[in-house]
Amino acid sequence: MDIIELHDIRKQYGDRIVFQDVNLTIPVGSFVVVRGESGAGKSTLLNLISGLEIPNSGKIVVDGKDISELAKIERTDFYRHEVGIIFQGSYLQPQFTLMENITLPGVFAGMPEAERNAKAQQLAQMLGITESLSHLPSEVSGGQAERACIARALLMDPKIILADEPTSNLDEENAIIVLKILNAIRQQMGITIIVASHSRDVSRFATQILFVKNKLVNSEVVELALAASEGEVNDNQGAI
Ligand SMILES: Nc1ncnc2c1ncn2[C@@H]1O[C@H](COP(=O)(O)OP(=O)(O)OP(=O)(O)O)[C@@H](O)[C@H]1O
Ligand SMILES: [Mg+2]
């Protein structure tokens, strides 16, 4: 089953056409890597999938729902539960602790405090950042901050995680840890992962690679054997 379908998508900003006639399907449980030069449209593609941007024409179907048919308020609610986003440059609110950052989506969604705190504790344990929960983002390492971003993206039990350059601020060791965590989330929780990245390391986890170029998106399905072999992850820092 496909969790995401793009049909005849056109997207432009003013006169600048970023996408034209883009057709694409992503099967559920994929680890998708989006590649392409700076300015090619990787972030725009993620923003279209996450509903942050609306296409000028064409149809986007997420988990069987035609997004254009949802009224604005329904759409916000739909995406809140369906998609977890890890933004380019790992945006945490600097004045809030990691705990407060991680639980923020639950505040917006009206999740009771006890429930969102319990969920955040559980995710922090899984990701190995329990000790950092009471710290501000400025007081933790880049790798810990990135894992807090992953926890925040997982808080609402999404079916899809979108990550825009999640490893760009990390050294190689921490980048691999983050990628392994994302892959473990895919394998153990069945969540579809979509990562925009320039990094070579990320490709070894891919089940599908999207090449963004010349206003088009070309898809290549990768042999599953390789991606699957990275499965049994039990890294130092976290329980995952
Ligand atoms: N809000 C916007 N308004 C106008 N133009 C935009 C907007 N967002 C993106 N663009 C343009 O669309 C094109 C694609 O941008 P996008 O951010 O998707 O590229 P990218 O592949 O993610 O690049 P990078 O690797 O640098 O992150 C660029 O030419 C950019 O200038
Ligand atoms: Mg980008």
pLDDT of residue 170: 85
235 within domain boundaries: no
Helix (H/G/I), strand (E/B), else coil: 111: coil
- State the average pLDDT over residues 8-30: 97
CATH number at residue 216: 3.40.50.300
236 within domain boundaries: no
165 within domain boundaries: yes
pLDDT tens digit sequence for 58-115:
999 999 999 888 888 888 889 999 999 998 766 899 999 999 999 999 999 999 999 9
Ligand 1 neighbour 11 (Cβ under 6 A): no
68 within domain boundaries: yes
27 within domain boundaries: yes
pLDDT tens digit sequence for 170-210:
888 888 988 999 999 999 999 999 999 888 888 889 999 99
197 within domain boundaries: yes
If one counts the domains in the chain, the total is 1
- Our mutation pick for probing the ligand 1 site, out of 12, 43, 50, counting the most ligand atoms within 8 A of Cβ, is 43
pLDDT of residue 90: 66
DSSP 8-state class, residue 95: T
pLDDT of residue 232: 42
CA distances from 31 to 36, 82, 97, 193, 195 (A): 17, 16, 30, 5, 8
pLDDT of residue 94: 95
143 within domain boundaries: yes
Ligand 1 neighbour 18 (Cβ under 6 A): yes
Rounded to the nearest angstrom, the distance between the alpha carbon of 41 and the centre of ligand 1 is 6
Rounded to the nearest angstrom, the distance between the alpha carbon of 80 and the centre of ligand 2 is 21
40 within domain boundaries: yes
* Domain carrying residue 191: 2-229
Residue 236 has pLDDT above 80, yes or no: no
